[in-house]
Amino acid sequence: MSYSKNSDFKDRAVTTLRLQQMKQAGMKISCLTAYDYTTAKIIDDAGIDLILVGDSLGNIVQGNETTISVSLEDTIYHTRYVAKAATRALVVGDMPFMSYQVTSNEAFRNAGRLMKETGCAAVKLEGAGEVVLDAVKRMTDSGIPVMGHLGLTPQSINQFGSYRARGKDASEADKIFDDARKLQDAGAFAVTLEKIPAVLGQKITENLSIPTIGIGAGPHCDGQILVYTDMLGITKDFSPRFVRRYTDLHATITDAITRYQEDVREGSFPNSEESY
């Protein structure tokens, strides 16, 4: 089955195969994060193609400075309810720090647990080191779809020392490009490219047969992903260049809570029609 740019795709369940077909047809892939049932249902009903239960839950849900502290149990808990809500979008569970870097055997077991206990359709992991590539191959050979993640990899923040863009010098750009091809060769169905120059994002996208999902990687990637609290304007203290805020829910929610508080204090809520 193939798809044209004008295909009615909204009501069809998204699979890794359909993401591949979308790339081939030149159809852009829309992706967002989610961490709970209610939000995931809204996102899924809106027609988003892929929902990532990112380890960004460490920042958004837990209030931590980095994603390092997120556990496999945390990821399983949140992914379970996102997968329960999504009937169309492909749900990807993000493997947290130290759940896949030790040995490929441990990574394989943890990925299997993540899928089996949550119902998600795929897992995501960062980097392309020897253990990671071995893990990707073993997972994909056994039927676990894997999305890679290159460029700025937040789980390596203590090694990088900052959240600056990656791949701006030639040697690092070449390594990211080579790593993307290695992930594809290992069997990854897609790769996330985070905070790299647009020209590098374009080069990788044009040279891979699997979809690229960009976040701060330019307009040429096959798809784009944002943290939903950023694009909805819920978070106020994080404003990188790659985030476009489509509304200001922080202000909307604050106003609603303020008016509710005033009504309670004034005794106008609840009124007679809101009482039994």
In this prediction, residue 162 carries a pLDDT of 65
Of the pLDDT bands very low, low, confident and very high (cuts 50, 70, 90), residue 6 is very low
Pick the catalytic residue: 73, 194, 206, 266? 194
In CATH, the architecture of 16-245 is Alpha-Beta Barrel (3.20)
Q: Mean per-residue pLDDT for 5-33?
A: 87
Q: Which residues of 154-259 form beta strands (DSSP E)?
A: 190-194, 212-215, 223-226
Work out the percent of the chain whose per-residue pLDDT is above 90. Answer: 89
Closest CA to 126 of 80, 176, 172: 176
Give the whole-angstrom CA distance, residue 57 versus residue 61.
5
User: For the chain, how far is it from start to end, CA to CA, in angstroms?
Assistant: 56
Contacts of residue 263, Cβ cutoff 8 Å, sequence gap at least 6: 269
Q: Read off the pLDDT band of 106 (50, 70, 90).
A: very high
Closest Cα to residue 195, out of 255, 154, 141? 154
Question: Tell me: the pLDDT tens digits for 229-275?
Answer: 999 999 988 888 999 999 999 999 999 999 999 999 999 999 999 99
Classify residue 238 as left (phi > 0), alpha (psi -120 to 50) or beta. Answer: beta
Q: Is 273 a catalytic residue?
A: no
Q: How many CB atoms neighbour CB 168 within 10 A?
A: 12
pLDDT tier, 145 (very low <50, low <70, confident <90, very high otherwise): very high
Q: Where are the domains of the chain?
A: 16-245, 248-276
